[in-house]
C-alpha cells in the first residue's frame, strides 16, 4: 500500500473504536446517542470506495515486486542488491548464472559469498562500510574467476534510500568488459607498432632524400626533393603528436 492508502485504512478502522469509546458512561456529550452504527457505516463506505473506486489492491506491493523481479531478470548484466551491512537481499538470473549460485541459498549472506571480491573492493562498493583513505566513489574494476577464466568487470553502484533519504543498501551491477578491454589493448599495441614503423620508414625516406638532394644539379628537381623531405618530416611529426595525444 502507499502511505496515503495505509493512513486511510487506519483512520477508517479506528472510527468504530472511537465511537464506542465516546459512548462509555461519562464520556459522551449525549449519553443517549450511540454513534457507533454511524461510524461503522462511514467505515464500510470508505472501504467500498477504496476497493472499487481508488484501485487499492491494483497498486499493491505484489505487482511492484513482480515488476521489479522481471526488470532485474531482463538485464543481461549481473545485479546484486545488498544492505548497508553488505548482506545480499536479491540477485537476478544473470548473477545466478555468472556466480554459479541460487537465489534462495545466498539471500542474507555476505556479498563476498556471491562475488569473490577483495576487501578493498568490497568496502568501496558496499555503503555503510569503511572505504579507507584511498577509496573513491567512482565505478570499480574487479577481476573475477568465471569457470576458470579470468574476466574483468566494472562494478556500477546505485545507493538505495528510504523515504527519509537515509541509505538502506545498494544495487551493484557487474558489467563484463573483458572483450572491450582486450580490444582496447590490441588497438593500443597496433597503434604503437604502426607509429614506430612509420617513424622508422620516414627516417629512411628523409635520409635518401637528403642524399639525393646532394647529387642533383637541377634546381627544379632539387626543389621537388626538398618538398618531399618537408612532407616526410611533417608526417613524422604527426606521429609524435598522435603519441602525445594518446598519453
Q: How confident is the model over 186-205, as pLDDT tens digits? A: 888 888 888 888 888 888 89
Cell 456529550 -> residue: 29
Question: ∠ at Cα 156 (155, 160), nearest 5°?
Answer: 125
Q: How confident is the model over 235-247, as pLDDT tens digits? A: 888 877 877 777 7
Q: How confident is the model over 88-108, as pLDDT tens digits? A: 888 888 888 888 888 888 888
Q: Are 168 and 139 in contact (CB under 8 A)?
A: no
Listed range (76-80, 111-115, 161-165) with the worst mean pLDDT: 111-115
pLDDT of res. 121:
53
Residue 77 has pLDDT above 60, yes or no: yes
Strands (E), the chain: 78-83, 88-91, 140-146, 149-161, 167-176
Residue 127 has pLDDT above 90, yes or no: no
Per this entry, what is the length of the chain? 247
Question: Distance of CA 94 to CAs 15, 75, 173, 174, Å?
Answer: 50, 7, 10, 10
Summarize the confidence of residues 62-85 as an average pLDDT.
Answer: 74
**Is the torsion defined by CA of 28, 33, 37, 38 positive or negative?**
negative
Residue 132 has pLDDT above 50, yes or no: no
For the record, the C-alpha cell of 111 comes out as 556479498
Amino acid at each position: 500500500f502507499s502511505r496515503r492508502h495505509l493512513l486511510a485504512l487506519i483512520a477508517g478502522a479506528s472510527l468504530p473504536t472511537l465511537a464506542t469509546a465516546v459512548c462509555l458512561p461519562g464520556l459522551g456529550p449525549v449519553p443517549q446517542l450511540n454513534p457507533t452504527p454511524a461510524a461503522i457505516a462511514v467505515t464500510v463506505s470508505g472501504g467500498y470506495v477504496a476497493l472499487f473506486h481508488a484501485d487499492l489492491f491494483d497498486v499493491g506491493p505484489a505487482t511492484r515486486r513482480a515488476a521489479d523481479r522481471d526488470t532485474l531478470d531482463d538485464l543481461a548484466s549481473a545485479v546484486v542488491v545488498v544492505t548497508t551491512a553488505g548482506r545480499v537481499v536479491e540477485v537476478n538470473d544473470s548473477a545466478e548464472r555468472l556466480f554459479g549460485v541460487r537465489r534462495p541459498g545466498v539471500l542474507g549472506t555476505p556479498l563476498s559469498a556471491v562475488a569473490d571480491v577483495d576487501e578493498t573492493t568490497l568496502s568501496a562498493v558496499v555503503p555503510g562500510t569503511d572505504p579507507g583513505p584511498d577509496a573513491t566513489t567512482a565505478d570499480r574494476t574487479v577481476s573475477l574467476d568465471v569457470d576458470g577464466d579470468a574476466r574483468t568487470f566494472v562494478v556500477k553502484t546505485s545507493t538505495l534510500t528510504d523515504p527519509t533519504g537515509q541509505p538502506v543498501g545498494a544495487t551493484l551491477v557487474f558489467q563484463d568488459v573483458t572483450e572491450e578491454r582486450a580490444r582496447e589493448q590490441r588497438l593500443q599495441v597496433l597503434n604503437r607498432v604502426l607509429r614506430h614503423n612509420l617513424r622508422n620508414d620516414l627516417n629512411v625516406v628523409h635520409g635518401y632524400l637528403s642524399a639525393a638532394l646532394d647529387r642533383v644539379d637541377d634546381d627544379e628537381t632539387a626543389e621537388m626533393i626538398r618538398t618531399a623531405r618537408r612532407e616526410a618530416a611533417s608526417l613524422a611529426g604527426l606521429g609524435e603528436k598522435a603519441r602525445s595525444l594518446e598519453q
